[in-house]
Structure 1
Amino acid sequence: MKLTKFNVVILIGFLAILGVVIMQVFLLNQAYSFEKKEVESKIHYALLDVVERIYVDNNTELIVNNQIKKVAHNYYVVNVNDVFENNILEFYLKKEFNKVNLGLDFEYAIYDCGSNNMVYGNYIAANGQANKKCEDCFTGNQDLTYYFAVRFPTLNQNYFNSLKQYWLYTLVLFFVLIIYVYSVLLMLKQKRYTVLQNDFINNMTHEFKTPLASILIASNYANSQQEIKDSPKLSKYIAIIIAQSQKLNEHIEQILSLAKTDSHNIELNKTKVDLNNIFRLIKENISLKYPKEISCLLLFPKNYYVMADEFHFYNILYNIVDNAIKYTPENPEVTIMVNENQKYIDLSITDNGAGVPEKDLPFIFDKFYRVERKDSKEIEGFGIGLAYVKKICELHNWKIKADSTLSGLTILIQIPKTDIYE
């Protein structure tokens, strides 16, 4: 895979989140070990105190070493080597476990020398609600004579409850890692689709331009022939072919321009552009394109020069004015104004058309988004003109927005004063 900035950022993000997850798992393991050691220590010293109390009651000397033997993680055998009673043992077990704040369910059994069996004692629940007893869980020990065994059936559950905040943090981090990986996969998939889409658009438009250029050349040549000029019907048909071919050529150019901006291959060649001159040129070209009467009013308090790419600047302004006239059915009036404030000059282009519905207004600059016209069931265009306009404004670091008014639609371009010369 090609190492790009995008891939490096994704890799660093993944490694960072994975590192945090590993650290959290390590901390969880450390916390578990600490909790386990602390609980085992409490159990050991509590059982040792129980044995000492039994010896004190019997008034005998404690001579046995290593009285506490851990058989399993929750099972302990205690060698007393002295006689003791069942009720006394239970009382001492409860007292010593409460003293160290153990807070665990436990059950115990005592070895009976007469029957050579473990006699089940009782199940003591920390919350007062006893669970299912396990009398078969206690086994005898052939090496001991006087002993008892204690089992903690809820020990694992206690570990989990004690570390529940660590478990929660770990699960959240795993969830974040999964979401991150899933998002990256979606981004990579979307990126592939975008590349394929741009390649398809570029190939398609270039393939269209070759036969279209041939059609325009042939049509213009045919239109110059005397036979065509002498026939009003043929002249009309040729004019239609030329007009529609030019219209198709404009659409293809728009698609190519938008695809170029999307692929970040466009380079701006900024120069000082005379705002008055560029709008006069647009006005002339618009009047040649549309046979209907058009009112185009320029309201500039003074002459401005804008630091911009002249080619693209002309294109975006022409697109906006062209849309204003195209979607105004009769007597189109376009007002172009400049207002100054402290940081920007606001270049606004307002028409007297039907405007844009409120629900469509936030999306008119989206690529391929088209607004249904009230005066026509057909939706014209490809929805790329205003997307191209927004892209060029973003490349210039300008702001653009649209407002629908009672008298039509206003497109507002905010140009920083650092790009303005008088």
Structure 2
Amino acid sequence: MKINKLNSIILLGLIAIISILVAQLLWTKEAFTLEQKKLSQKTHIALLEVAKKLYEGTNHELPAQNPVRKIANDYYIVNIDNEFEPDILEFYLKTEFKKMNITTDFEYAMYNCQSDEMIYGNYISLSDKGRAKQSVHFPKHKNLVYYFAIRFPNETSYLFSSMRFWFILSIAIILILLIYVYSIFTLLQQKKYSELQRDFINNMTHEFKTPLSSILIASKYLSEQNPIKEDKKLHTYTNIIINQSHKLNNHIEKILNIAKSDYAPLELKKETVFIVPVIEETIENIQLKYPEASIKIESISDEFQIETDVFHFSNLVYNLLDNAIKYCNEKPEITIGITTENSTLKLTFIDNGIGISRKNISFIFDKFYRAQNEKSNEVNGFGLGLYYVKEICNLHNWKIKVENNLTNGITITLSIPYKK
């Protein structure tokens, strides 16, 4: 994925989540306003009913003008224009608030026309929580004689508690946004480290190639000189230099191929080939390196054909055989089985090596992974062989499975789609 495409996806995702968060906050604000209006309407209706009840049994009639006035969000006054008793007022307030399902605490005060001041009535706790003793000032209002005032000291917290769902949802969206930002930051960091690693490997291997080529050319020229040919020890040492240089060159090539495949996927040139001849040719090549190894093919037919990239398939087989031989304490014996099962060709590599511990089996196809065992210090490598095998299988849409044998060694099975 190109960096500009990745940045576009990240930016669009970030804009989408921020938009959802802003919309959620706006909805929460709107919901708070609606809850506030709802409480105000319920309080207005309850106080109007209280005023009506205070007029019952008297010679006065309820005035045509609405007696309930909202002074502030949490403060109301009710003009009765008639004498009333504090105990009766408190009873009616409790009753009507209960009917309207108003469960927040409230306090009330009444105007005393004789003393020309507001007389504090009581603090009524309708919630489960108790109250702390407090002194509240109720202001006087002009042009009113018989009236009382109501205050809701905990209105804000009451409204917030009734909107728990909205706040939980908002917090969840904020957490999702934070997780998204953290994930993107981690992704970009990993991408940066991956690019640095790839650039380092490319530079390192290219820098190695030049002196290594010079060493190979000089060593081959040196080995052809008569004094070297005549001295057995010098000839042996020269061959060691050449062989080890070739081995190092193979490792460098392998690293370069893997680094290249990370940047741009390998391109397969598929063709239909007979599988047995390709494997036989690969066996001949590896036995030049390991003449002591015993490798045989068990197949019910030599006519099995698969669609594959011959070059990469040969490398895949070579890597599997090379691993099986290197990780063996005795004479390497490898059996390559070719069978069919329904529409699948099963290609199995059975060896008599040291095997793999169960806890390490799931990691053997990871890049640069080398399981720690008794052969780790003896076997040279970078942990790229099986990673390459897995990559080639993925590109072909083949399945690969590794199992320990009952006695010793492992069995690697490739499942290849097959058409007769």
TM-score, normalised with respect to structure 1: 0.93
Match of 2:205 in 1: 205
Q: Does 1:178 align with 2:192?
A: no
Aligned-residue offset at 1:361: 0.5
Match of 1:109 in 2: 109
Paired with 1:211 and 1:327, the residues of 2 have a C-alpha distance of: 31
Match of 1:394 in 2: 394
**Contact between 2:306 and 2:418, CA under 8 Å: does it hold in 1?**
no
Distance 1:99 1:321, change over 3 A: same
Aligned-residue offset at 1:5: 3.6
Aligned-residue offset at 1:387: 0.8
Instruction: Write out aligned runs for 1:22-421 (5 A).
Output: 22-63=22-63, 65-127=65-127, 129-291=129-291, 293-302=292-301, 303-375=303-375, 377=377, 380-405=380-405, 406-417=407-418
Match of 1:7 in 2: 7
**Contact between 2:111 and 2:146, CA under 8 Å: does it hold in 1?**
yes
**Contact between 1:123 and 1:130, CA under 8 Å: does it hold in 2?**
no
Q: Tell me the SS of whatever aligns to 2:26.
A: helix
Which one is further off, 224-233 or 300-309?
Answer: 300-309
Aligned-residue offset at 1:229: 0.5
Paired with 2:87 and 2:358, the residues of 1 have a C-alpha distance of: 82
Q: Which amino acid aligns with 2:227?
A: E
List gaps (5 residues or longer) in structure 2: none
**Contact between 1:21 and 1:170, CA under 8 Å: does it hold in 2?**
yes
After superposition, what is the alpha-carbon deviation per residue over 1:183-222, rounded to whole angstroms, capped at 9, x for unaligned? 1111111111111111111111111111111111111111
Paired with 1:378 and 1:66, the residues of 2 have a C-alpha distance of: 98
Paired with 1:309 and 1:256, the residues of 2 have a C-alpha distance of: 19
Paired with 1:94 and 1:268, the residues of 2 have a C-alpha distance of: 83
Q: Which amino acid aligns with 2:120?
A: Y
Count residues with an aligned counterpart. 417
Paired with 2:326 and 2:355, the residues of 1 have a C-alpha distance of: 12
Aligned-residue offset at 1:351: 0.8
Q: Tell me the SS of whatever aligns to 1:381.
A: coil
Q: Which amino acid aligns with 2:293?
A: I
Q: Which amino acid aligns with 2:102?
A: L
Aligned-residue offset at 1:380: 3.6
Q: Tell me the SS of whatever aligns to 1:135.
A: coil
Q: Tell me the SS of whatever aligns to 1:355.
A: coil
Q: Tell me the SS of whatever aligns to 2:57.
A: helix
Which one is further off, 19-28 or 409-418?
Answer: 19-28
Distance 1:398 1:141, change over 3 A: same
Q: Tell me the SS of whatever aligns to 1:58.
A: coil
Aligned-residue offset at 1:128: 5.8
**Contact between 1:124 and 1:130, CA under 8 Å: does it hold in 2?**
no
TM-score, normalised with respect to structure 2: 0.94
**Contact between 2:370 and 2:376, CA under 8 Å: does it hold in 1?**
no
**Contact between 1:138 and 1:149, CA under 8 Å: does it hold in 2?**
yes
Distance 1:16 1:417, change over 3 A: farther
After superposition, what is the alpha-carbon deviation per residue over 1:202-250, rounded to whole angstroms, capped at 9, x for unaligned? 1111111111111111111111111111011111111111111111111
